[in-house]
A and B are shown apart, each in its own frame.
Chain A
């Protein structure tokens, strides 16, 4: 336990009895010291030997110098046992004495041994004490090193003269001298051999990495220079090079080759594929189809077209599937139209049908009177011009409904609602336009199925219009414009602005839609509004200014002063009638100038100054007119065709030619869409094909047929095919390549008279044919493939045919003259 003087002891009760240190009787915690004689302990040791409690400390006891040994009762088991023996006098004294003097401190520091208590005492400098040997000098002695043997001295010397004598060294090879060296060679010790059976060798797999680098020149394309404009030579440079010698030499060397090549091309076409050409003529495989004109759809309206006939049919030029019909009265051509006989109950309309909705018309255009003929304006398909039965010309603007027409679908909910029927009262009120401001068409009301009604936005003035029904109306081609003197000018704007109408009152009128730049804008408009009428809100005021004051530009009177015959034109066919319907693509016209903003072309267009316009010299302004002739104001119904030169001043019209071929009124006069100088005229019981410039007569004239021909049209896809409608509801299909004396096919479409045939001009639907009949039903037919696809050489063949006929005619005439 660290204290060399303290020996813990266990005292059994027997021992305690012997020595009178019974716990809690003789020895208590406070009185824990017991002095025991040494002799007693030794005695005990002898008697009890091994079982004596003092046995472990026997040695200590025997060596103890003093007489009495201190045994201390260790109540707290400080040293591990209940008693401990103090083995030295000093410690005995310390333990005994200090408790007497300092009792308080002893309790606290009882664990400390006697040495600790010494420190508490006031410091006494250490007293020099004699050294007490504890046996360590023996160890020191053992360890120390002493000389045990006396040292022996030797002295060795050499004679002085042997020192420093010169000496020479030589080399000697050690191997020459025997035994000069001893080597220990290695040998294979037979006693010792280990055969290696397996050896574990560690291998490390390391990817061989090698760094290498190269330097290349990375070339990437980079614009060294950019050219934005093509290089061009200035005029002087061009002149210079043109006159240079080098150019002359060049031409002399080159022109021969070029001419040879050109001639080769003229002689024959080296690439002509005979095999392919052979096949195409036979491409009409499968024999004859059963039905040449398949019925596609038919439209009729019970409300507006009851007991009415359709007088004119027109396809919408741009929107697919929209077709417009105008309703008219059922009357025969022979009867003169009397305004008063007209049924006043029914409103005159133009109905728009859509393919997607065969029951409900999409749009209705209100007309002041029955419309006999109408046309969409080719430059802006939202403008429609129509000719009325009373001789007026009416204009509509349907741009508000354009979107609706484009999205025409079959659901009724999509249809917008109509306004109140404001027209009923004013059908007769041709002169007074009491317009009641109706609710706006743009308001969407709930679903009735009335199509929206569009009012006309301009009507020509009564005095200046025709006196008899307007029988034909056309928009003039967009690149020519007439001014009042009758000369034709370029139309800069590319917007169709001119109409031509004809009517049996022997006049042909040219109408102009002028620009709307009124000088005093605000005040005059207001005035006009107040004094005349207020337009209903929904009618677009594109052509407001024209309303009721629209006058024709030019009037041509077809009277021949000498014979006093008046010619009543019924149909016109103009030569340069190229209808470019403007869709979103740019129209390639001869004058490629910018087109004004399309919103309302008529309002924003400015009048071109006539100075800058070129007078077009080479546009032919002659046209064909099919008329009804009255001599001396009678009406004997002689039908003529006239060729009128319009460039002559108004008074001296020269009528180039007149022909009498038809027995009855001409109902169709149409140029072939493929040949600009071939005209088809249909009237009465026969038809004729004319070529412009051939004055002797028609190229082809059909024989009289059993029924009357009432309508007709060239086919738009095949040059030699045309359709003729009859009064028994049949359509005759004539194919000039097959038979020229009778129709190649006929088909019955309806029970009543066919009133109008119109092929669709929209490119998507070239195979559709619209046929209208006297019952107010519009049939849309699909032309079968054989009739709609042109044969390979058909154009050339038909051209050949016409030329042959012309030659034949000339020959006949020559013969006739010779005969005479």
Chain B
């Protein structure tokens, strides 16, 4: 229930297009998009997160990745990684 609430709150933000929760293996657990798009996003972003995390830790093993933001022309993809899960939010910034 709390989980639901948090997700709803995040989704209600201005400009949010989609929200996804991915598990550690890249399999989507919870999503607001259709299946094929979700699967595509999950696969790609999971790999990217793993790569980013390994980059950060290679440079400094004491460090770890906390947040990843990809800004593109059309929208912004925000990824919050954790030990087992990944929260992905796609937002259309202000304009």
Contacts and interface: CB of A to CB of B under 8 A. Distances in A.
Real complex partners, A and B?
Answer: yes
Contacts of B27: 230-233
A266 B58 CA distance: 33
A232 B39 contact: yes
B8 to A, nearest CB: 11
Interface residues of A, number: 27
A241 B71 contact: no
Given A246-B85, A250-B82, A268-B94, A262 B16 contact: yes
A577 interface: no
A266 B89 contact: no
Nearest to B88: A258
Contact of A262 (B29, B30, B35, B78): B78
Interface string B62-95: 0000110101000010101011110101010111
Interface in B12-30: 13-16, 21, 23, 25-30
A265 B17 CA distance: 13
B95 A258 contact: no
B25 A266 contact: no
A292 B78 CA distance: 46
A591 to B, nearest CB: 14
Contact of B30 (A242, A253, A259): A242
Contacts of A268: 94
Contacts of B78: 258, 261-262
B16 A248 contact: no
A269 B75 CA distance: 11
A163 interface: no
A647 to B, nearest CB: 30
B3 interface: yes
Given A250-B84, A258-B87, A259-B13, A265 B29 contact: no
Nearest to B36: A230
A321 to B, nearest CB: 33
Interface in A646-702: none
Nearest to B69: A261
B3 A257 contact: no
A262 B28 contact: no
Contact of A254 (B29, B71, B76, B87): B87
Contacts of A230: 27, 39, 42-43
12 contacts: A233-B23, A242-B3, A246-B84, A250-B82, A257-B67, A258-B89, A262-B13, A262-B15, A262-B16, A265-B94, A266-B93, A268-B94
Interface of B: 2-3, 6-7, 9-10, 13-16, 21, 23, 25-30, 35, 39, 42-43, 66-67, 69, 71, 76, 78, 80, 82-85, 87, 89, 91, 93-95
Given A230-B42, A255-B9, 19 more contacts: A232-B35, A233-B27, A233-B29, A241-B23, A247-B29, A248-B3, A250-B82, A251-B6, A254-B85, A257-B80, A258-B10, A258-B80, A262-B15, A262-B78, A262-B89, A265-B15, A265-B76, A265-B94, A268-B94
